[in-house]
């Protein structure tokens, strides 16, 4: 009996010890001064535990009742580099981590200094105008430095368009179905919410939330408990797209009753930005409500949106820049003593989410989100009927047009003077009103219209993560998304007229006794549009998307291996609401449904040479369904699709050496990416194809190659001095010649909506992806008294104009199949040579200081980009489609008239910010 009792006692003690829970403690200190740092966020994640604490006045933090296991400890906050460490709890009563030494970093003190890689005021006529980027808070040296420095000048890592960047909120993908890009305006101004992503992967590195694309995955966890507790107030002043910004945030943190509430709001505005005739007016709001029911279940309600109105600037030819400078904008004119811009973008697509976090046990957790997004995007522009093009940059208004037609030198000089003086260089709103007033019928000659995209997107997403064994992790995620998108043209302002005819004046049948204008909607042939009415086109796109993602990570002492796979199903159909007279049989009603089944596989190998030196390799292959814009090239008028449409094939790989030492961090990477069977499209006029026609050009079988190296070093040479160097050397080219088609109403008149023009010979032409190479050298002094100053030099090179594909088809040098006279090899090489923009140097300076005011904190900071005021930097551009034949191309005046349209940098810009927190 005694032996039995003794055995039971030992067993009970053993069980108690096995189930004992540990208190984890530590103290956060400034690595340079040894001073304790308070008000920092400390997170402990692993198994069923996902908890947060705030360091107190002496830098102390603690977690109680922590079960045995392996955890990731993170410490982060304003003014300091994020700290991360893996800890193991193994039955001890208390685990004292001692001093956690943190490095002061001014970048984290600059509240919401946004370094975007897009010109928010550029027009959307080219993909070069939509290169939005993310504020990078990555631990990766290259990603961080290139985003803050090179990213200011439209540099895109690895040359990738941002359609390859997956942006997630609570696991829900935000990228649009029409072009694959995320609309950053939907959360613009919510910097306190999006400051520190829950996950930020670079390139094709593995993600815990999604399979990912070429540009990586960014996931935001919107729980208030994961963000800074307290009140934050900030004001910013800048001379870029907006002039002023105010932000306010209040977060209760997780209270004793398990509730947490957070609200955040901002406004950004400018009566006029740095580009002439532009304005900016944007609000933003966020509401987060979190309820932690117990250690297993947490529910989070999130609602956010950003109603935005902004006007855009025009891309310009070199002729226009020579006459008016880099800030010129052709989209505005004076009306009643005020500047009025015809191109106004409006965006408001609020997002509402409900997320459930379930810590199943200390090794498994399940996160599920349901989301609903709705709202509108619209972009206005002038339209006209049987009237002249009102744009001041219409080619007939330019001096080069006079030169092309043999005008005298005096006439050309007079036209140039009228331009320089401003007499004919802006929109003439008064003349458009007069033209409408002179109408005896009330029909509008000119009006302001808007292209509207009205989306409704419902999403369900679930993510299961578990630790199968101590060294094997498994992630399984699934999502379903349905998008119903209404697209139409809406009358915004009749400019004094009474109505707009719903007919097409561009395509006219002249073989009838009376000229016949084609009707945009035969279902209501007598319909006329008034303010707020739909006109010209109206259709819906329906998309269903479902995917399944699985990933496993196997960890060992010297090697970690991660394998991920995905399967996806995408369905599209178009439902026309207007029956266009030119496309009676394929414009109204539901189209065929297009199905795409896609898959992907990726792997990551991390070789741990020791605690500081690593070798990493990533490999990915996937297929990717086309977007709705690619499936229906001329969706506004019909549902005709491109022949042989299929999913793109993408292969990518990279190999890196990584150094993470206490005072030096470095990475050297070689990467290679190859895409096949992509689709590209563009709109515009072409001279030389049935005279002069407006077309939609569609290329299929597009293949691209991205090859390059990335080098980055960041060294703390002194406790107060850090130097960094980054080099990105890339070569991004078209690798395949493509099949070229033109869609035009000219063809539709004869019952054929498109024509094939053979092969576009684009192989080895450079991609217009911004600077293909960039270099940065910077130094930053961080004083122990919490002030800093930094300087960086940036050199950007190998930036090319987007080539016009039609010029690279045989049709460029033939007329009705007969070779054009006078074509020479030397002349052809000259006109087909891709335009390369100049290499440029930029100097940046940033400085600031943080303060402690009792238990409060405050700071002031500023950044000046392009200190030397370099105004020669072209951020991107594109050849106009207009030049459709060789004879026009060799004419210097014609080429000046229809030269490449370009986006210029802004010269010297600044951003100043002040904040107060308590």
Segment 599-613 mean pLDDT: 93
User: So what's the pLDDT on residue 354?
Assistant: 98
Segment 333-360 mean pLDDT: 96
Could you count the other beta carbons within 10 Å of the beta carbon of residue 472? 12
The Cα 129–Cα 117 span in angstroms is: 10
Q: What is the 3-state secondary structure (H, E, C) of 837-857?
A: ECCEEEEEEEEEEEEEECCEE
| DSSP structure class, residue 150 | G
655 beta partners: 617, 670
Contacts of 14 (CB under 8 A, 6+ apart): none
Sheet holding 166-169, edge to edge: 172-173, 166-169, 217-220, 199-200
Predicted confidence (pLDDT) at residue 784 exceeds the cutoff of 80: yes
Instruction: Establish how many alpha carbons lie within 13 A of residue 327's alpha carbon, considering only the half-sphere containing its beta carbon.
Output: 14
Per mean pLDDT, which of 98-112, 518-532, 818-832 is the most reliable?
Answer: 518-532
DSSP element (H, E) containing 324? helix 318-324
Q: Are 586 and 579 in contact (CB under 8 A)?
A: no
Q: DSSP letters along 404-440, please?
A: HTT--HHHHHHHHHHHHHTSSSS--HHHHHHHHHT-S
Segment 502-515 mean pLDDT: 65
The Cα 241–Cα 273 span in angstroms is: 5
The two tokens of residue 229 are 């507790």
Helices marked H in 357-494: 399-404, 409-421, 429-437
The radius of gyration of the chain from alpha carbons, rounded to an integer in Å, stands at 30
DSSP element (H, E) containing 808? none
How are beta strands 41-46 and 69-77 bridged, if at all?
Answer: antiparallel
Segment 673-680 mean pLDDT: 95
The Cα 14–Cα 20 span in angstroms is: 10
Predicted confidence (pLDDT) at residue 1 exceeds the cutoff of 80: no
Q: Are 830 and 889 in contact (CB under 8 A)?
A: no
The Cα 818–Cα 310 span in angstroms is: 49
Predicted confidence (pLDDT) at residue 12 exceeds the cutoff of 50: no
User: So what's the pLDDT on residue 748?
Assistant: 65
Q: Give whole-number Cα distances, 896 to 320, 769, 900, 905, in Å.
A: 10, 24, 9, 21
Using CB atoms within 10 Å of the CB of residue 172, give its burial: 0 to 12 exposed, 13 to 18 middle, 19+ buried. buried
Could you count the other beta carbons within 10 Å of the beta carbon of residue 87? 16
The Cα 98–Cα 28 span in angstroms is: 9
Q: Give whole-number Cα distances, 266 to 135, 234, 271, 812, in Å.
A: 17, 9, 17, 52
Portion of the chain with pLDDT greater than 90, in percent: 66
End-to-end CA distance of the chain: give it in Å, rounded. 64
128 confidence band (pLDDT: 50, 70, 90): very low
How are beta strands 799-800 and 836-837 bridged, if at all?
Answer: antiparallel
Q: Where are the beta strands (DSSP E) in 331-402?
A: 332-335, 338-341, 344-348, 351-361, 364-384
Predicted confidence (pLDDT) at residue 651 exceeds the cutoff of 90: yes
| DSSP structure class, residue 830 | H
Predicted confidence (pLDDT) at residue 700 exceeds the cutoff of 90: yes
Mean pLDDT of the chain: 88
User: So what's the pLDDT on residue 223?
Assistant: 95
The two tokens of residue 423 are 């007499």
Instruction: Establish how many alpha carbons lie within 13 A of residue 43's alpha carbon, considering only the half-sphere containing its beta carbon.
Output: 16
750 confidence band (pLDDT: 50, 70, 90): low
pLDDT tens-place string over residues 66-122:
888 888 888 887 667 778 888 888 888 889 999 998 877 655 543 333 333 333 334
The two tokens of residue 524 are 């209501």
∠ Cα 293 294 299 (to 5°): 40
Segment 871-898 mean pLDDT: 89
507 confidence band (pLDDT: 50, 70, 90): low
Comparing C-alpha atoms, which of 267, 275, 265 is closest to residue 239? 275
228 confidence band (pLDDT: 50, 70, 90): confident
Predicted confidence (pLDDT) at residue 11 exceeds the cutoff of 90: no
User: So what's the pLDDT on residue 692?
Assistant: 65
Phi, psi of 471 (to 5 degrees): -125, 15
Helices marked H in 622-686: 628-631
Portion of the chain with pLDDT greater than 70, in percent: 91
The two tokens of residue 546 are 């479902």
752 confidence band (pLDDT: 50, 70, 90): low
139 confidence band (pLDDT: 50, 70, 90): low
134 confidence band (pLDDT: 50, 70, 90): very low
Q: Are 278 and 121 in contact (CB under 8 A)?
A: yes
Predicted confidence (pLDDT) at residue 125 exceeds the cutoff of 70: no
The two tokens of residue 555 are 């960890």
User: So what's the pLDDT on residue 362?
Assistant: 87
The two tokens of residue 199 are 């996950």
The Cα 673–Cα 655 span in angstroms is: 12
Predicted confidence (pLDDT) at residue 612 exceeds the cutoff of 60: yes
User: So what's the pLDDT on residue 280?
Assistant: 96
Region of poorest pLDDT, from 38-47, 666-675, 685-694? 685-694
379 confidence band (pLDDT: 50, 70, 90): very high
Segment 463-478 mean pLDDT: 94
User: So what's the pLDDT on residue 132?
Assistant: 30
| DSSP structure class, residue 475 | E
The Cα 851–Cα 860 span in angstroms is: 9
Three-class DSSP category at 144:
helix
The Cα 857–Cα 854 span in angstroms is: 8
Region of poorest pLDDT, from 50-64, 278-292, 819-833? 50-64
Q: Give whole-number Cα distances, 481 to 47, 198, 545, 547, 658, in Å.
A: 29, 22, 5, 9, 38
Comparing C-alpha atoms, which of 803, 678, 819 is closest to residue 739? 678
Stated pTM of the model: 0.87
């Amino acid at each position: 009996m005694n032996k039995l009792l003794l055995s039971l006692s030992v067993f009970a003690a053993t069980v108690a010890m096995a189930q004992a829970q540990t208190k984890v403690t530590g103290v956060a200190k400034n690595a340079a001064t040894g001073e304790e740092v308070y008000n920092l966020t400390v997170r402990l994640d692993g198994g069923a535990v996902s908890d947060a604490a705030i360091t107190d006045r002496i830098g102390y933090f603690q977690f109680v009742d922590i079960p045995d296991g392996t955890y990731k400890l993170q410490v982060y906050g304003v003014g300091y580099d994020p700290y991360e460490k893996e800890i193991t709890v193994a039955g001890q009563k208390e685990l004292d981590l001692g001093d956690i030494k943190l490095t002061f970093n001014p970048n984290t003190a600059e509240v919401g200094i946004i370094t975007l890689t897009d010109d928010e005021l550029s027009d959307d006529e080219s993909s070069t105008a939509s290169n939005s980027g993310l504020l990078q808070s990555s631990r990766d040296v290259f990603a961080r430095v290139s985003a803050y420095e090179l990213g200011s000048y439209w540099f895109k890592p690895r040359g990738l368009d941002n359609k390859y960047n997956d942006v997630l909120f609570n696991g829900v993908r935000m990228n649009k179905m029409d072009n694959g890009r995320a609309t950053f305006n939907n959360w613009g101004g919510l910097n306190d919410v999006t400051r520190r992503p829950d996950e930020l992967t670079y390139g094709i590195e593995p993600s815990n939330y999604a399979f990912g694309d070429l540009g990586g995955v960014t996931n935001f966890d919107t729980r208030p408990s994961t963000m800074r507790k307290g009140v934050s107030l900030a004001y910013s002043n800048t001379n870029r797209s907006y002039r002023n910004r105010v932000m306010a945030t209040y977060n209760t943190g997780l209270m004793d009753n398990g509730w947490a509430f957070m609200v955040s709001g901002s406004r950004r505005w400018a009566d006029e930005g740095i580009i002439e005739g532009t304005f900016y007016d944007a609000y933003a709001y966020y509401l987060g409500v979190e309820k932690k029911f117990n250690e297993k279940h947490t529910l989070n309600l999130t609602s956010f949106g950003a109603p935005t109105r902004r006007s855009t600037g025009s891309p310009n030819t070199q002729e226009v820049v020579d006459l008016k400078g880099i800030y010129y904008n052709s989209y505005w004119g004076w009306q009643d003593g005020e500047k009025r811009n015809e191109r106004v973008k409006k965006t408001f697509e609020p997002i509402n989410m409900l997320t459930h976090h379930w810590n199943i046990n200390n090794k498994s957790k399940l996160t599920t989100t349901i989301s609903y997004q709705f709202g509108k995007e619209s972009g206005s522009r002038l339209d006209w009927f049987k009237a002249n093009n009102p744009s001041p940059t219409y080619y007939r208004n330019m001096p080069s047009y006079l030169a092309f037609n043999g005008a005298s030198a005096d006439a050309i000089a007079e036209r140039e003077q009228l331009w320089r003086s401003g007499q004919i260089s802006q929109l003439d709103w008064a003349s458009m009103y007069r033209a409408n007033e002179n109408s005896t019928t009330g029909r509008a000659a000119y009006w302001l219209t808007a292209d509207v995209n009205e989306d409704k997107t419902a999403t369900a997403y679930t993510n299961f993560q578990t630790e199968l064994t101590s060294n094997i992790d498994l992630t399984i995620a699934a999502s379903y998304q349905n998008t119903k998108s209404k697209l139409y043209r809406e009358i915004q302002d009749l400019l004094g007229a009474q109505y707009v005819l719903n007919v097409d004046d561009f395509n006219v049948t002249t073989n009838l006794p009376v000229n016949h204008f084609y009707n945009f909607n035969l279902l209501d042939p007598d319909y006329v549009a008034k303010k707020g009415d739909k006109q010209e086109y109206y259709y819906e796109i329906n998309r269903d998307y479902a995917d399944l993602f699985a990933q496993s990570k196997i960890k060992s002492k010297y090697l970690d291996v991660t394998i991920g796979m995905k399967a996806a199903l995408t369905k599209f159909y178009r439902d026309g609401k207007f029956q266009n007279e030119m496309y009676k049989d394929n414009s109204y009603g539901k189209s065929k449904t297009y199905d795409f089944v896609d898959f992907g596989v990726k792997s990551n190998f991390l070789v741990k040479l020791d605690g500081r030196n690593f070798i990493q390799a990533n490999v990915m292959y996937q297929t990717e369904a086309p977007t709705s814009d690619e499936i229906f090239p001329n969706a506004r008028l019909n549902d005709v699709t491109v022949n042989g449409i299929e999913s793109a094939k993408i292969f990518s790989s990279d190999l890196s050496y990584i150094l993470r030492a206490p005072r030096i961090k470095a990475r050297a990477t070689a990467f290679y990416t190859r895409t096949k069977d992509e689709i590209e499209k563009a709109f515009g006029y072409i001279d030389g194809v049935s005279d002069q026609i407006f077309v939609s050009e569609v290329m299929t079988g597009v293949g691209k190659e991205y090859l390059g190296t990335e080098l980055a070093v960041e060294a703390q040479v002194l406790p107060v001095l850090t130097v960094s160097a980054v080099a990105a050397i890339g070569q991004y080219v078209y690798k395949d010649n493509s099949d070229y088609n033109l869609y035009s109403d000219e063809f539709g008149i004869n019952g054929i909506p498109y024509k094939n023009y053979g092969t576009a010979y684009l192989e080895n032409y450079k991609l217009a992806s911004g600077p293909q190479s960039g270099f940065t050298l910077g130094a930053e002094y961080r004083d122990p008294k919490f002030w800093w100053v930094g300087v960086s030099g940036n050199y950007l090179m190998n930036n090319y104009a987007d080539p016009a594909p039609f010029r690279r088809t045989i049709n460029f040098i033939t007329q009705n199949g007969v070779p054009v006279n006078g074509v020479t090899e030397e002349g052809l090489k000259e006109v087909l040579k891709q335009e390369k923009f100049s290499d440029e140097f930029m100097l940046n300076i940033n400085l600031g200081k943080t303060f402690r005011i009792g238990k409060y904190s405050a700071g002031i900071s500023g950044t000046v980009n392009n200190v030397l005021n370099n105004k020669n930097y072209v951020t991107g551009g594109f050849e106009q489609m207009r030049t459709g034949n060789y004879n026009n191309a060799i004419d210097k005046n014609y080429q000046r008239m229809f030269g490449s349209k370009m986006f210029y940098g802004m010269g010297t810009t600044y951003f100043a910010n002040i904040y107060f927190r308590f």
